[in-house]
Each structure stands twice: as structure tokens, then as C-alpha cells.
Structure 1
Amino acid sequence: MTDVTPLLTAVDRFADRLRALPQSALTRGAAAEGLALARELAARAQRLEEPGGRPRTVPDAGVFAVGDQVAVTGHDLAEALRRTPEGARELADALALVEAAARGTGPAAG
């Protein structure tokens, strides 16, 4: 089993940061970036759990929900990676995605 602690830590930090942002920062792009990340994390989890299936898209539930969407999809992916033989290889890519999104939601975006 793959140790997914680094991914969970990064996802939780980013999700908490999104939850703490003011509406103005969320509407200037932070929410869109978070939603894009949530959609990618969900698609990756679904490809691992249902190979060959068509991934379902995470809906746009509004700027105030995006932190929760990142948290849920990140934890789903972590669980899929934990149970998958390819998990260790995929973990680095997923972690890089979350870290890149977190850098894009820094003080300049807020």
C-alpha cells in the first residue's frame, strides 16, 4: 500500500486556504483554479477505480464550495492511490498538481 500522507497534507492545506479566502479573491480566479484541480483529482481517482469508464465531472457548486470539493476529491484520489499498485507512481504527479495549484492561489491572487 502506498503512503498517501503527503498528498492528504497538501490537499487539506490547499482546501483550508481556499475556505479562508475572501469572496473577492475567490471570484478573481482562486475558485476556478480550485474547481479545475478538484475536477482533475476526481477524474484521476475515477480512472483508477473504474478503468475504461467515463469520468463524471465535478459540478460547479459555487465559489464557497470549492474548498470542500478539493478536499473531497483529493481524499478520494488518495484512497484510490492507496489501494492501487500504480499508486506510488501516480502519487508524485497528483502531489505536483496540488502544489502547483497552491502556488497559484498565493497572496497575488488574493
Structure 2
Amino acid sequence: MLDTTELTAATERLADRLRAAPQSRLQRGAAAEGLALARDLALRAQRLEAPDAPPRTMPDAGVFAVADQLVVACNDLAEILRRGTAPAGTPLQRELDEAVAAVRRTAATATL
């Protein structure tokens, strides 16, 4: 069982920054960056949970919903990683490390 605390904590910090950002900043790109990360995390979760299923794209629910979408996608991925439900041979620690790196990259470069 993996400890996904680092992933969820980093995502929560980024989501809090998105929630606190003014609408103008969200519209200038911060929300798009957050949505791109949420979609990436959701796709990672989908590949682990149902690798043969066609990928589904997280919808754009608007600039004020992106922080919540990000947290939901992160929590889905974290749960899959904690349970260890992935195709045999999937390096779950690498999946976790890559997800944490993606969150950190977005947090470092986001226009917040």
C-alpha cells in the first residue's frame, strides 16, 4: 500500500491557490493550467483502473470549478494507488512519483 499523502497535500495546496485566485487571473490561464493537470491525473487514474477502456476527458466546468475538479482527480488517483488496483507489473511507485512531479511542476509554473 502506497502512502499518497505527498500527492494529496501538494494538490490541496495548489487547489487552495486556485480557489484564492482572482477571476481575472483564472481567466488569463491559471484555470486552464489547473484543468490540464486535473485531466492528466484523471487519465492516469483511468489507465490504472481500466487500461483497456477508452479514455474519457474531464469536462471544462468553468474557472470556478477547476480547483474542485483537480482535487477529485487527485483523490481518485490516490485511492487507486493506495489500493494497488492496477494491471500486473505496473510500477505504482513510479506512477505516484510522476503524479507528484506533475503537480509540483504546475504549482511552480502556474500563473497564480
Give TM-score, length-normalised by structure 1.
Answer: 0.92
Give percent identity, aligned residues only: 61
Equivalences for 1:1-110 in 2 at 5 Å?
A: 1-84=1-84, 86-105=91-110, 109-110=111-112
Q: Which ranges in structure 1 are unaligned for 5 or more consecutive residues?
A: none
Counterpart CA distance in 2 for 1:101 and 1:39 is 13
Counterpart CA distance in 1 for 2:91 and 2:79 is 12
Q: Which ranges in structure 2 are unaligned for 5 or more consecutive residues?
A: 85-89
Counterpart CA distance in 2 for 1:47 and 1:26 is 29
Report the Cα offset of residue 83 of structure 1: 1.8
Report the Cα offset of residue 35 of structure 1: 0.5
Counterpart CA distance in 2 for 1:57 and 1:89 is 23
Counterpart CA distance in 2 for 1:37 and 1:18 is 12
Moved over 3 A (4+): none
Give TM-score, length-normalised by structure 2.
Answer: 0.91
